[in-house]
Chain A
Amino acid sequence: MSAGRVAIVGVGYTPFRPITPDVSFREMVYEAAAKAYEDAGIEPQKDLDACVTCQDDFEHGRSIWNEQTPDSLGAVLKPVGTIPGDGIYGLIDAYMQIRSGLRNVVVVETHSKASNMITRNYLLAHAPDPIYNKPLSQHPYYIAGMEMNRFLYETGNTKEQCAMVAVKNRRNALSNPVAAYGQKSAVEDVLGSEMISYPLTELDTSSHADGGIVMVLASEDRARSLAGKPVWIKGVGWCSETPWLESRNWGEAVYAKLAADMAYRIAKINEPREDIDFAEVDDTFSYKELQHLEALGLCQRGMAGRMTSDGVTQRQGELPVNVSGGSLGVGHLVEATGLQKVLEVVLQLRGEAGKRQLDNARVGLAQSWRGIPYASGAVAILSRE
């Protein structure tokens, strides 16, 4: 049993679309899985040791939902682990199974069929504490409004700089053929769009998209024997803040900081700004990208806005951020959001990002946030070598 390295050896995904009325979720997963196995050069029934699948029940309007995926994944009669959380947690689970020597090949699946939920806001309104918060019965984005306000107050970053994030990411999405919300827009468009919950405007928020993402992970020995280009998982981390809205930190994404600290430690990265070439970070809301960049140590606290307005995070900048378009440009994929970020890092590291390919992509970081109303998330660091 070796405690060797772990690689992503295959990825498969469907185009991300605002609605997918033509396919069921199973057919979407099947498409992503078939592509992933083709990419990895494996046959699931023969080669797969185990599967991890990540979905939230409520998001799909039915119970014990994530037991539904084995058939569309080629995983019937295989060990399947279900995680009701973001896809990066599934990636980490698979990584640990291989790293511990228990398995050689593990597949991770996650998808979004967000368009199936017709009354989404009501769904999200069930998430805050049912005794202390839910009776106030507001649109749940009020929590993001309060967080954005406090974050800007503490750091000196501005609404305009948040708007620049939204403009950049939707612009980036124009070069991503599978992104749903690519758009050329201006800072004034974002600032002038409908106010949702001050200071958060409609264009500061991501819209949902549907899509499936499947990744095949393998041990080093196995990865070497496959034809594709392995992308190595160098470090992973995850962390949860207190679940109480009343007690948690509103100005700083402490969960992302601690998750990154863990991932950097495992990856032996001492100077993240030096060693990370590009990042795909959570941008469910525009301000979250700034808050997360600071928490990840990719800039000083209070400097993420400045870094954005200086163009550092543009595709041509020194530290490209959300080149894929992020959630603002690709569409928010519910629990598949984190794996979409990993997917972009994999494509960039393999040199397969097409028109948006970065020149110097050696080490990339992907980060996820569980979403409103929580303060938790995960980080994965991937490398070409």
Chain B
Amino acid sequence: MSAEKVTQLSQTKRMFGELSFGPQDVKLYGQYTYGIAGERFFREIKDNGRIMGTRCQKCQLVYLPPRIYCERCFAELKEWVEVEGKGRVHSYTAVHVDLDGNRLNEPILMAIVEFPGIYGGFVHKLGEIEPRDVRIGLKVEVVLKREEEREGSILDIEYFKPGMFD
């Protein structure tokens, strides 16, 4: 409704702002606590190389990643069970661009990995496989970083690779 419309970006007055959460160039610091479930989950991976979920007896559900409550019946969950790191690709994609929109030289394979009888799984990378060989239903197994390299994060899992198992 203004009488004169500006048509050149360079003619406009703008204030540039920064909103940054990165370790460099930081304007805002924040932290995310792992919580009870996350703490135990990542300690088990880091210290024992085990993937652990929590189980709701009533709903017959094992949560992965673990939660201390059941989203169905809302019970508090205290039972922990080990989940064998052998699953299947529920879906996958090959990512061709980075966050700046640049083309990647090699696409990165990402997948949702599910495990038999488990509610949940992992969203993670696939490795040791070519994009053309990936398919939904592919058997994959977890590849952990070496113990001394693990830090207690989701990146302690290096990727999932094609697995040979029944």
List chain A positions with a Cβ less than 8 A from chain B. Answer: 19, 21-23, 27, 30-31, 34, 58, 61-62, 121-123, 125-126, 130-133, 135-139, 141-142, 145-150, 153, 194-200, 242, 244-247, 250
Contacts and interface: CB of A to CB of B under 8 A. Distances in A.
Interface residues on B, range: 35 or more
Contacts of B112: 146, 150, 245-246, 250
A149 B90 CA distance: 10
B101 A150 contact: no
B108 A138 contact: yes
9 contacts: A21-B6, A131-B38, A136-B110, A136-B125, A146-B110, A149-B93, A197-B97, A246-B64, A246-B122
Contacts of B108: 138, 142
Nearest to B28: A63
A77 B117 CA distance: 56
Nearest to A34: B1
B59 interface: no
A23 B5 CA distance: 9
A194 B125 CA distance: 22
Contacts, number: 128
B123 A133 contact: yes
Contacts of B119: 247
Given A145-B95, A200-B93, A22 B136 contact: no
Nearest to A198: B94
Interface string B51-71: 000000000000111000001
A198 B94 CA distance: 5
Contacts of B110: 136, 138, 142, 145-146, 197
Interface of B: 1-2, 5-9, 11-12, 14, 17, 19, 21, 32, 34, 38, 63-65, 71, 90-101, 103, 107-108, 110-112, 119-125, 131, 136, 153-155
B123 A245 contact: yes
B99 to A, nearest CB: 5
Contacts of A62: 17
Contacts of B8: 21
Contacts of A130: 32
Contacts of A194: 96-97, 103
B154 A22 contact: no
A135 B119 CA distance: 22
A131 B34 contact: yes
Nearest to A121: B99
Nearest to A144: B93
Contacts of A123: 19
Contact of B12 (A21, A122, A137, A149): A21
B93 A246 contact: no
